[in-house]
Amino acid sequence: MSSILTFKDVSKVYDSAEGGSRSALHDASFSVGARRKVAIVGRSGSGKSTLLHLAAGIDVATSGVVEVMGNNLSDLGEEERTLLRRDEMGLIFQFFYLMPHLTVRDNVALPALIAKQHYGDYGPRLKSLLDRVGLPDRINDTVQKLSGGEMQRVAICRALLRRPKLLLADEPTGNLDDENGSMVMQLMLDLVEEEGTTLLYVTHSSSFAELADEVWEIHSGELSTPSCNDNG
């Protein structure tokens, strides 16, 4: 199985305000194949978000190698990493990061607009995704009129619009109540299964983690990858 995301002895150290340093991730190594769904669990401050930021090329490793579909992110400049992220990855965050005064349509379309695609190229895909998440009738509403669960469904559509090979989700249900959280998590998992997308997601919920093919744990920057489920 071809690897979509690979870490080889990856560490990340941040300089502290006091002049010292803080290790956020230490010698992490793993490989995620196509169509796999991986959950990462750990306490706040354990390094989960740092790992996702390194995978997305938002941050750069202090040492080691991060590869996305064979591209060594350390060999790429900031603009090249941005283009790779735009063209091959989807990102979902806890706090949605939608544009509140734009419509649902325009929020979902943002990745395509940034890539200078014409509506004819992405319009049918946009409508299909909104149908799939149960929001076709909200397409012309501004997102500030939506509930939290509806906002996260819009964010999922935006992340999947350009058919990314890798989807990275940082606590995608962390800002939702239990009912909406369960619905959004299952919807995200169903969509990536249908799309054949590789998914790496961070969660505090052990029950949500168990829905993945593999569950990894991280403690104080130390990653362990021992647990595999039989879901895929």
Q: Distance between CA 121 and CA 148 in Å, rounded? A: 29
- What is the per-residue DSSP string for 170-189? ESTTTTS-HHHHHHHHHHHH
Structural domain includes residue 130: no
Report helix, strand or coil for 38.
strand
pLDDT number for residue 226: 64
Half-sphere exposure of 210 (CA within 13 A, CB side): 4
Of residues 96 and 65, more confidently modeled: 65
**Distance of alpha carbon 34 from its chain centroid, rounded?**
15
Q: In sequence order, which residues have a C-beta less than 8 Å from that of residue 136 and are 6 or more positions away?
A: 127, 130
| Degrees, nearest 5: CA angle 38-194-33 | 35
pLDDT number for residue 230: 52
CB 165 within 8 A of CB 198: yes
Predicted confidence (pLDDT) at residue 65 exceeds the cutoff of 80: yes
Residue 224 sits in a domain whose CATH number is 3.40.50.300
Predicted confidence (pLDDT) at residue 54 exceeds the cutoff of 50: yes
Structural domain includes residue 126: no
Of residues 193 and 21, more confidently modeled: 193
Structural domain includes residue 71: yes
Predicted confidence (pLDDT) at residue 231 exceeds the cutoff of 90: no
Per-chain mean pLDDT for the chain: 91
Of residues 96 and 182, more confidently modeled: 182
Structural domain includes residue 119: no
Q: Where in the sequence is the domain holding 83, given as residue range(s)?
A: 3-16+30-97+148-228
Q: What are the tens digits of pLDDT across the range 122-136?
A: 999 999 999 999 999
Angle between helices 148-160 and 119-132 (to 10 degrees): 140
CB 175 within 8 A of CB 94: yes
Q: How confident is the model at residue 232 (pLDDT cuts 50, 70, 90)?
A: very low
pLDDT number for residue 229: 55
Structural domain includes residue 34: yes
Average pLDDT over residues 199-225: 92
Structural domain includes residue 156: yes
Structural domain includes residue 56: yes
Q: pTM for this structure?
A: 0.91
Structural domain includes residue 92: yes
Average pLDDT over residues 151-162: 94
Average pLDDT over residues 93-105: 91
Average pLDDT over residues 48-75: 94
Q: How confident is the model at residue 162 (pLDDT cuts 50, 70, 90)?
A: very high
Task: State the amino acid at position 213 in one-letter form.
Answer: D
Domain count, the chain: 1
